[in-house]
Amino acid sequence: MAEKPQPVRVLYCAVCSLPAEYCEFGPDLEKCKPWLIQNTPDLYPDLAEELNSREADKVGEQLQSTGISSPASSAPKAEEVKHLPGGKIKKKDKKEVVIEKVVRNKRKCITTVKGLELFGVKLSDASKKLGKKFATGASVVKGPTEKEQIDVQGDISYDIVEFITDTWPDVPETAIFFIEDGKKVPAV
């Protein structure tokens, strides 16, 4: 083995995230095709040919029917195809507030509130307000992976929804979730 083996850079398909050579076994080869043809023409030679012949047919048809010059008509087509598969894979980070009740000591528990910062709420202010409203301790705690959350002593999971929506109108009720038995349950 060499001194320091360089990491191999593997080409991953932007559509299905598999290495390009496995696209044919992926969930949807049809969607990957445009990307494959653009990025790895040598891996699937049949695909390119198939597309070329199809495109040629199309262009030919168009030429016959409308008489538009071929490069102008084929260019926007290709772009359209590219857009569709790309838009679907990337999920947007959802803005949501997650409320979880953690039982600490048989009948004592802590309610943690995650994700308030996504709505532009200052966490330190929020924890102060929560503590005041419920007359308990509330603190901003750093989660294990750099994420901040608010811990409130006591079980306030039922009143907290109303409180959040009242105090910060930016937070819609539909964006609030409970975690019950490890499952996410919408608050409404």
Select 55 or 117, whichever has its Cβ closest to other proteins: 117
Stretch that binds other proteins, among 24-32, 47-55, 65-73, 154-162 (CB under 8 A): 24-32
- Nearest CA to 142 out of 134, 131, 150 is that of 150
Structure tokens at 142: 């750093």
Stretch that binds other proteins, among 18-26, 79-87, 120-128, 156-164 (CB under 8 A): 18-26
Question: Do 75 and 67 contact (CB within 8 A), yes or no?
Answer: no
Size of the residue set binding other proteins (CB under 8 A)? 23
**21 sits near other proteins (criterion: CB under 8 A):** yes
With a CB cutoff of 8 Å and minimum separation 6, the contacts of 140 are: 123, 124, 127, 148, 149, 150, 151
Among 76, 80, 145, 169, binds other proteins (CB under 8 A): 145
**45 sits near other proteins (criterion: CB under 8 A):** no
**151 sits near other proteins (criterion: CB under 8 A):** no
**181 sits near other proteins (criterion: CB under 8 A):** no
Question: Do 90 and 128 contact (CB within 8 A), yes or no?
Answer: no
Min dist. Cβ of residue 175 to other proteins (A): 17
